[in-house]
A and B are shown apart, each in its own frame.
Chain A
Amino acid sequence: MTESRIHFFAKEPLVALLGNPNCGKTALFNLLTGSRQKVANYSGVTVERKEGNLTLASGKVIRILDLPGAYSLYPRSLDERVTCDVLHGRAAGEKRPDLVLCVLNAMNLRANLRLVLATKRLGLPCVVVLNMVDIAKRHGLQIDEQALAKELGMPVIPTIGIQARGADDLKSYLAQLDWRNLAALSNTSLDQGDETVIAHSEHIESDNIQVHRILKKLNLDHVIPDHFSDRLDSVLLHPIIGPIILTVLLFFIFQAVFSWAVYPMELIKLGLEYLGGLLTQFMPDNWFRSLLIDGILAGVGGVLTFLPQILILFFFILALEESGYLPRAAYLLDRLMGRAGLSGRSFIPLLSSFACAIPGIMATRSISNARDRLITILIAPMMTCSARLPVYALLISAFIPHTKLWFDLDLQGLVLFALYLAGILGAMGVAWLLKHFTSKQFKVNALMMELPSYHLPRLSNLAISLWQRAEIFLRRVGGIILLMTVALWALSSFPLPPEGATGAPIQYSIAGMLGHALSIVFAPIGFNWQISIALVPGMAAREVVVSSLATVYALSSTGADAASALVPLISSTWSLATALSLLAWFVFAPQCLSTIATVKRETGGWKIPIIMLSYLFFLAYLASLITYRIALFFGLG
């Protein structure tokens, strides 16, 4: 007897959104499902899976799946592989879609129609969604939807993905659909699984001839220039002005991350202090109160404070992505990246790594060249992720004076910029070294990147994406960070100090002993035992270092001032050399456990994560050693 796996699927029909990259598919998905979206991964692969529900006018609920964008149904990247597998009904744990909505960018029918013809061959019930009809109309493009439907042999529904009621036609179409008899919408199946390379090449040529015939018949056989994008590009992609604008933009973003977040951060801090005050007032002084105040409130609360900064950074990345500027930045940086042995394609994963290395490493899936992808994964952790911001923010506000320099720049912002720059230069150096050691085994890398036309980012789309990022961050705070802070609190509280002992109780605890042992290793780079202790749970997530320091110091102060702020405490007890050394450490600091887990999953083994861990540890130690010794030499000890 053979065992077979049975999957149980929700009874609601599954509708898949399929389309080329840049066809406005995600905006349309947001319009259809609103904020009721579930973001997860496809089973077994780290491709982001977005699903949402849509309630039709008839009261019927349908599930909508936003498939990764694809140029063809011949899988060339991991993203396209997932799309193909789902459409063929062979993705693990996925139901084959009941209906495919093939989304077309009305401004780029030529490329998009080829995908429609390929989808038609799958034999799935399929409806064509003509998106961005407003922009097409503005450019004087008259598309006869009925004639197009007749040529394609499929219904064609016009939509405007960026307008509040732009999908109403589609919704009413879906509402009147006979969901029990979708077969009427399907085409003769010619699906024989994956095409061979040769068959695919023949198909795409003949599809293209057919697309030309259709466009000619509909009198759409001329290229509509996009003057607006072209004019913007003549400035933004100018070989001299372009890079200058990009540099200024990046600099502005980093200044904004620091200065805009001040008030919301103060607000969160005040709220936490108020809560701590209440607990101190109304709870008896026992271990449970210590756990709540010194452990959870100091730990999780300390991390929560940095949510505004993370959101501001994500806001800029998302806005740049939606406006269409991000691939242009990659184009501008391609030569620079080429010198380090990478391509402009690595830019987007690396930029995402500034928010968090995990989405960055996942974004490397779009790099089809294996060598480029591996190097990008290896250096992504050196991009200063937002988890390091709390550590930088703490140290900078404690040790760097808040002086205004020329042009209203402040010294703190400048130091922050320098730290980011150090990470980038380190990453480029490592990439260059890797290129020279591995270039024989690997081939020249590819760019082949589409530059979509410019769009004004939509606030509602930004809000949905930003909310999803915030949710992921808060889930981490609630999960691994909470767990680690509680564990550290326990490690720092037990065993209890012996009777009649003097000094802070933490010195007698397990964490104290561990920290003292580690401080021998870290002494040459100027770390005291408190820092050494904090670095241990910092492996869970880097921002935990701040909360751990808070916990360590709150517990080691013998007085009642457990809630006293960390900043004045460390600025009075650490030397400037130690602070600089710790900053240098964090530029290269070895990864948090979740990043290492991601790298392991993405590379399919322990080899790469172990290489990454050891080279980053080595670099971090070296950088700290040099920084500390130089600082001592200049009498900053």
Chain B
Amino acid sequence: MLLDQASLDTLFRVKGVLPSTSTPEVKGQLEDIGFLTGEQVTVLRKGLFGKGPILVRVGSSTFALRENEAKLIELEAIAS
């Protein structure tokens, strides 16, 4: 599953960041700010009508991401 489709307030784990052909530098930037394999991720807030930036908690930091950035982050469910 990709981060932009993740449901709110649910704990996920980062599987990896997909490379982007149009913006190759984004993968590294996302990794630098903490979207690394195994990190815990929760979507805190989506914009009105599902548009606009997404508020994501990764580890213990909170980041605002745009949809096109969120689309690069692959998540997996945490078995509970």
Contact = CB atoms under 8 A, between A and B. Distances in A.
Interface of A: 71-72, 74, 76, 107-111, 114, 197, 200-201, 204-205, 208-209, 212, 223-224, 229-230, 233, 237, 239-240, 327, 330-331, 334-335, 338, 343-344, 368, 443-452
A451 B38 CA distance: 22
A450 B68 contact: no
Contacts of B40: 223
A601 to B, nearest CB: 24
Nearest to B54: A447
Interface of B: 22-23, 25-26, 28-34, 36-40, 44-45, 47-48, 51-53, 55, 57, 59-66, 68-69
B53 A334 contact: yes
A212 B63 contact: no
A446 B63 contact: no
11 contacts: A76-B28, A76-B32, A107-B60, A204-B36, A205-B36, A233-B45, A237-B55, A444-B66, A444-B68, A451-B55, A452-B62
For the complex of A and B, 5 pairs with smallest distance between CB atoms: A110-B59, A335-B52, A239-B48, A72-B32, A331-B64
A151 to B, nearest CB: 18
Contacts of B47: 239, 335
Contact of B34 (A110, A224, A230, A446): A110
Contacts of B36: 204-205, 208
Given A76-B29, A76-B32, A446-B29, A334 B23 contact: no
A327 B28 contact: no
Contact of B45 (A237, A338, A443): A237
Contacts of A204: 31-32, 36
A237 B47 CA distance: 10
A559 B63 CA distance: 65
Contacts of B23: 443-444, 446
A459 to B, nearest CB: 26
Contacts of B69: 446-448
A111 B64 contact: no
Chain B at the A interface: SS class = mixed
A447 B65 contact: yes
B9 to A, nearest CB: 11
B32 A327 contact: no
A239 B23 CA distance: 29
A609 B66 CA distance: 31
Given A205-B37, A368-B25, A331 B55 contact: yes
A71 B30 CA distance: 10
A201 B31 contact: yes
Contacts of B28: 74, 76, 197, 200-201
B31 to A, nearest CB: 6
A448 B37 contact: no
Nearest to A451: B62
Nearest to B60: A108
Contacts of A71: 32-33
B60 A344 contact: no
A205 B34 CA distance: 10
A221 to B, nearest CB: 10
Nearest to A209: B38
Nearest to B24: A197
Contacts of B31: 201, 204-205
A239 B52 CA distance: 10
B22 A334 contact: no
Contacts of B37: 205, 208
A114 B57 CA distance: 17
A331 B61 contact: no
A110 B45 contact: no
A451 B60 contact: no
Contacts of B29: 76, 368, 446, 448
Nearest to B53: A334
B38 A212 contact: yes
A212 B34 CA distance: 12
B10 to A, nearest CB: 14
Given A223-B59, A368-B25, A327 B39 contact: no
B63 A343 contact: no
The residue in B23, B47, B61, B69 that gathers the most chain A C-beta atoms within 10 A of its C-beta is B61
B75 to A, nearest CB: 16
A246 to B, nearest CB: 14
Scoring A111, A200, A209, A230 by chain B CB atoms within 10 A of each residue's CB, the highest score goes to: A111
A425 B53 CA distance: 22
A558 B63 CA distance: 64
B59 A108 contact: yes
Contacts of B52: 334-335, 338
A344 B32 contact: no
Given A444-B22, A446-B29, 19 more contacts: A71-B33, A76-B28, A76-B29, A108-B59, A108-B61, A110-B39, A201-B31, A230-B44, A233-B44, A233-B45, A233-B55, A239-B47, A239-B48, A335-B53, A343-B66, A344-B53, A446-B26, A448-B65, A451-B62
